[in-house]
């Protein structure tokens, strides 16, 4: 008989002489009604159209093969199908760090059933601990009976990177804060003088670093005088590791010099900033 086909039937009795009874219809139903159906369970087909995307509110925004995932959640998806009509399907995935081969054992299964021909999803969350890690993955379909189909390798690129987790982090606190005369090389010790003119230029330096490879970092310096308070907005900004921010500092008159305190922080190109670090560990109102 043909798989996935409906049948109806009837029976009669015959003797050795060829005499037969009338037909008895099984079920006493119409000839168009189904008496039984042949449904041989089969494995789902291999998924097609695998993709890696962001979760809401960026749903549908795909991450290209070898691309960067900048969140702690990724949605892996594919279209699943099955030769058995009415089967309920879910997506299974195997995700491994690049350098670890597939074992053809699922590491994640979708939670929502779909019918044949629809897109199924597996959502992976909490990815931030293995930051700056590269992964490859494959997918297969599984039906409600536990039968599963062949694997489909995303990108068809074996052990190459399918996506890399790169959670944006703020820069580290600036280090090695130092202050110099306007030439940028003559150090000014804590509490030292920067000149006696009406205004002078002081060069403030700090070493800036960032845990995110490739980020562009700036050094942000804020200066305040006596009885003043920090506003959180830097007076000067410059770029690059071991940056130097030049700040013009009004020092009053020759006979009435003023004292200043300052602090620095690091910021990246996305606007993420470290905390402030006071030069010399001094709070505001202390002589730098």
**Contact present, 236 and 218 (Cβ < 8 Å):** no
Distances (CA, A) of 70 to 63, 64, 67, 159: 10, 13, 10, 21
Where are the chain's structural domains?
A: 48-165, 175-281
**Contact present, 179 and 118 (Cβ < 8 Å):** no
What angle is formed at CA 215 by the lines to CA 213 and CA 221, rounded to 5 degrees?
130
Q: What percent of the chain has pLDDT over 70?
A: 89
What is the end-to-end Cα distance of the chain in Å, rounded?
93
Distances (CA, A) of 196 to 122, 220, 251, 288: 68, 26, 8, 16
Express each pLDDT in 53-70 by its tens digit.
998 777 678 999 999 998
CATH topology classification for 175-281: Immunoglobulin-like (2.60.40)
What is the rounded distance in angstroms from the CA atom of residue 187 to the CA atom of residue 144?
Answer: 74
Q: Which helix (H) or strand (E) holds 220?
A: strand 217-224
Express each pLDDT in 78-109 by its tens digit.
999 999 989 999 999 999 999 999 999 999 99
In this prediction, residue 284 carries a pLDDT of 57
Identical fold for domains 48-165 and 175-281, yes or no, is yes
> pLDDT category, 252, cuts 50, 70, 90?
very low
Domain 48-165 CATH (choose: 3.30.1340, 1.10.10, 3.30.110, 2.60.40):
2.60.40
Express each pLDDT in 227-246 by its tens digit.
566 777 777 788 776 677 77
pLDDT-wise least confident of 146-150, 169-173, 239-243, 269-273: 239-243
> The whole model's pTM is what?
0.66
> pLDDT category, 76, cuts 50, 70, 90?
very high
> pLDDT category, 212, cuts 50, 70, 90?
confident
The torsion angles phi and psi of 236, rounded to 5 degrees, stand at: -150, 145
Pairing label, strands 175-180, 199-207: antiparallel
State how far Cα 156 lies from the chain centre.
Answer: 21
């Amino acid at each position: 008989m043909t798989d996935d086909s409906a049948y109806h039937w009837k029976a009669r009795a015959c003797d050795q002489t060829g005499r037969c009874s009338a037909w008895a219809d099984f079920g006493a139903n119409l000839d168009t009604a189904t008496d039984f159906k042949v449904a041989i369970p089969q494995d789902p087909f291999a998924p097609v159209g695998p993709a890696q995307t962001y979760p809401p509110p960026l749903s549908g925004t795909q991450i290209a093969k070898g691309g960067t995932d900048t969140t702690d959640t990724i949605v892996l998806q594919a279209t699943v199908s099955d030769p058995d009509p009415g089967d309920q399907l879910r997506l299974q995935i195997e995700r491994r760090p690049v350098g670890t081969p597939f074992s053809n054992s699922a590491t994640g299964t979708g939670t929502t059933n779909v019918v044949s021909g629809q897109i199924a999803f597996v959502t992976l969350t909490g990815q931030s601990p293995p930051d700056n890690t590269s992964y490859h993955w494959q997918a297969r379909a599984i039906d409600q009976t536990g039968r599963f189909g062949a694997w489909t390798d995303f990108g068809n690129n074996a052990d190459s990177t399918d996506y890399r987790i790169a959670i944006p982090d703020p820069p580290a606190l600036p280090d090695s804060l130092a202050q110099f005369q306007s030439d940028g090389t003559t150090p000014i010790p804590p509490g030292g003088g920067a000149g006696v003119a009406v205004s002078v230029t002081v060069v403030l330096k700090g070493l800036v670093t960032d845990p995110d490879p490739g980020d562009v970092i700036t050094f942000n310096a804020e200066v305040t005088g006596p009885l003043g308070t920090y506003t959180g907005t830097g007076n000067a900004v410059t770029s690059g590791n071991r940056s130097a921010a030049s700040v013009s500092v009004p020092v009053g008159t020759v006979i009435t010099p003023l004292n200043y305190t300052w602090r620095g922080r690091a910021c990246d190109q996305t606007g993420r900033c470290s905390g402030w670090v006071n030069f010399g560990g001094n709070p505001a109102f202390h002589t730098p």
